[in-house]
Amino acid sequence: MNNYESVIIINPNVDEAGLKALEDKFTGLINENGKVNEVVNMGKKKLAYDIQKNKEAYYMVFKFEANPTLIAELERVYRITDGILKFITTKNID
């Protein structure tokens, strides 16, 4: 299993319950085939540039261990989930 870090940028119109639901959804998906080490909700931040006409958005960081096969499925789910503006997943070299 490899260590990964995934950052997602969430639409600012999502409420607190929606943020918690997204966190639970992705934590559950990762835990099916790996292990979540930490979830950091960084809150609402100003964007460097407009994304879909939004000037700010919520940032959430997932730090986890998983097999490489999970990453393709996780990113597929990111793409089809409403409220996700952008995402990136990187492999941590320790």
Q: How far apart are CA 43 and CA 92, in angstroms?
A: 23
Reference 59, options 47, 50, 71, 51; nearest CA is 47
pLDDT single digits (tens) 20-65: 999 999 999 999 988 999 999 999 999 999 999 999 999 999 999 9
Res. 17: pLDDT tops 80: yes
Q: What is residue 94's predicted lDDT score, i.e. its pLDDT?
A: 67
Q: What is residue 33's predicted lDDT score, i.e. its pLDDT?
A: 87
CATH number of 2-91: 3.30.70.60
